[in-house]
Chain A
Amino acid sequence: MRKTLITLALMLGLAATSGAQTMLNAAGATFPAPIYQKWFETYHTAHSNVQVNYQALGSGAGIAQLTNGTVDFGASDMPLTDDQISKMKSKVLHFPTVLGAVVPTYNVPGVSGDLNFSQKALAGIFLGHITKWNDPEIAKANPGVKLPADDIVVVHRSDGSGTSFIWTDFLSKVSPEWKSSVGAASSVNWPVGLGGKGSDGVTGLIKQTPDSIGYVELIYALQNKVPYGAVQNAAGKFLKADLAGVSAAAAGAAKDMPADFRVSITDAPGAGAYPISSFTWLLIPAQWQDASKRDAVKAFLTWMLADGQGFNESLSYAKLPAAVVTKEKQQIAQIQ
């Protein structure tokens, strides 16, 4: 009994002393969730008075919760649309945090090496115009590879996801027909193909289905040793995705980065830029009522842009290019 009392007293004492504790609630994208958890954890170890509770519910849920004011800040794999911005109670700033890329993965019996995909080929396959593996559009990018005359089975994500957004955003940029008939979003009306739930669902279906092609996050492909192909970039070069290529794409796009950071970097210029890359963003309100929360967020963002970026590559995320970091640091001043 006495022990319980002492423990209770201690707990009460602790609660009293940690009154300066700042608790931040956030929700949003699942794709950057591993690095966000790592950042928030590491930051909390160094600054024990700040704790961030991040719920990886998906970009849509993050945006919705921020709109309703149930979280302090959100996170999204796609920038807010004008319509979404108009629904926000106050101004929201976009902070790019890390970069991701999406890669084409396939299962073609008899083909062991990496395949090259031209922009036309990918758009044609996903629109359902290119239906055979030995189509000239695929064959001419892969000299010396013996492609079968079999039907292509397209596999896409069935769940709404940032991965699908990046993929369809790329297809919209390289194919006017895709842009006008399908468009870019986290879920779209796919012209052809089977849907797999999550990255595991897509890779599972591809492994099980001969002659299939789909797409997954670069991180997922690297961590799970999923084979993937090279994609033709804006400069006409075939590139196999890696972290350097993704950062190069971001650097290429950084030159004409809009002031609000709402930018798509798919099909970015530059010989070394991997074409299916994207930023992912933290959505931070510009006006804060609570001064301690505001200061905590500002301090965290400053740390994230400096030390935080050091964790990226160990978790297979590409670093932000220096030019973008400089611009973001200026934006922190807008948080009031």
Chain B
Amino acid sequence: MSTAATTMERAAPPESGPRALIYRLRHGDEVAHIVTLIFAATILLVTSMMVYELWVQSALTRTKFGWEFFWTRTWDPVFENFGAAPFIYGTLVTSVLSLMIAVPLGLAAAIFLAELAPRKISDTLAFLIDLLAAVPSVIYGLLGIFVVIPLMRTTIGPALKATLGFLPIFKGPNYGVGFLTASIVLAIMIVPYIISVSREVLLTVPRDQREAALGLGATRWESTWKVVVPWARPGVMGSVFLALARALGETMAVTMVIGNTPQIATSLFSSGYTIAAAIANEFAEATGPMHQSALMELGLVLFLITFILNGLARLLIIATERGGGRPS
């Protein structure tokens, strides 16, 4: 059957009834529609089931603590007094800080690989970067314990204290574990995502765009920074949000280097805790129903944070696109 015939038949398909269904089934459209719809619906189903399950399982603490759960600073499994504030704080601080380290690094590397490096080198490096993205997080955690922690204690920490020690975020004792160490390890983990996706996006920018900019007398750098990067901005943003999602949910590597102390501290040298780490650490041995419920509610809070941050991300994309470089 030729394409032309299909198009012609589609012009007058049976309106309704079983014949219509058979017609559409036979022509593949409806099958593809149903199959893809089922797969898409599965994602929605899994997500809503997760939220539902977390909501139901956390009933005990939700009714006992109410909204106070969000700003209570105590986490006491023995006396069953639970609050999520230190975990929310730790999750946000490490994720944001790791993005602040990883985004400039990743974007610069992606620009180099896409725009400046010879194609062969770029492809080889991109392959290696994809490999990095597949390294299990426990390996990054070990890297943190054996490399980053000693480095933090002996070199990075003292250097920061000597130069920026007057800032409250660099005060207090430095044991090598804490917010800053966790953020550095997280940054190392998420940089490959940013580089890999951003590079692909930058490579898809049409050649005309570059040539037009160069033709107007722009330098190589001006063409890259003022034309190519703005064009690729939505995609680059996408890579950043993928990285953020990974940073928010990362468990193993963070728990190995953050010190696991549920506290809110200004100093980045201080030890902290994240939501994902707390759940992973305590769930297996959580014996009381109250403790289990509190951990479930932490999961719900993490879901909420991810949801809000993703929403903000969408808004950011919309806002920047309005003034953006891509013709619409």
Contacts and interface: CB of A to CB of B under 8 A. Distances in A.
A331 interface: no
B286 A60 contact: yes
A27 B305 CA distance: 34
15 contacts: A58-B284, A59-B287, A60-B283, A60-B285, A159-B281, A159-B282, A160-B283, A182-B78, A187-B77, A188-B78, A195-B261, A204-B145, A205-B145, A208-B149, A208-B153
Interface string A155-188: 0001111100000000000000000001111111
B284 A193 contact: no
Contact of A201 (B76, B256, B282, B291): B256
B261 A186 contact: no
A208 B287 contact: no
B235 interface: no
B287 A197 contact: no
Given A160-B281, A188-B76, A189-B74, A209 B175 contact: yes
A61 B176 contact: no
A57 interface: yes
Contacts of A196: 260
Contact-residue size bin, chain B (C-beta under 8 Å from the other chain): 20 to 34
Contact of A188 (B77, B145, B261, B283): B77
Nearest to B288: A83
> Which of A58, A158, A159, A184 gathers the greatest number of chain B CB atoms within 10 Å?
A158
Residue of B78, B145, B173 contacting most chain A CB atoms (<10 Å)? B78
A160 B284 contact: yes
B98 interface: no
Given A183-B78, A208-B145, A208-B149, A194 B286 contact: no
Given A189-B75, A194-B260, A59 B285 contact: yes
A188 to B, nearest CB: 5
A63 B284 CA distance: 10
Contacts of B273: 195
A78 to B, nearest CB: 8
A199 B183 CA distance: 24
Contacts of B281: 158-160, 187, 195, 197
B259 interface: yes
B150 A208 contact: yes
A185 B176 contact: no
Given A197-B256, A208-B150, A208-B153, A185 B77 contact: yes
A161 B280 CA distance: 12
B173 A151 contact: yes
Interface of B: 74-79, 145, 149-150, 153, 173, 175-177, 255-256, 259-262, 271, 273, 277, 280-288, 291-292
Contacts of A190: 261
A336 interface: no
B181 to A, nearest CB: 11
B288 to A, nearest CB: 8
B176 A187 contact: no
Given A185-B78, A187-B285, 5 more contacts: A60-B287, A183-B78, A188-B78, A194-B261, A197-B255
A189 B261 CA distance: 9
Contact of A160 (B150, B271, B282): B282
A35 interface: no
B261 A193 contact: yes
B77 A60 contact: no
Contacts of B256: 197, 201
A58 B285 contact: yes
A125 to B, nearest CB: 16
Closest 9 CB pairs of A and B: A160-B285, A195-B260, A58-B284, A158-B260, A183-B78, A189-B76, A60-B285, A186-B285, A159-B281
Contacts of A158: 255, 260, 277, 281
A153 interface: yes
A127 B177 CA distance: 21
Contacts of B77: 160, 185-189
Nearest to A182: B78
A161 B284 CA distance: 9
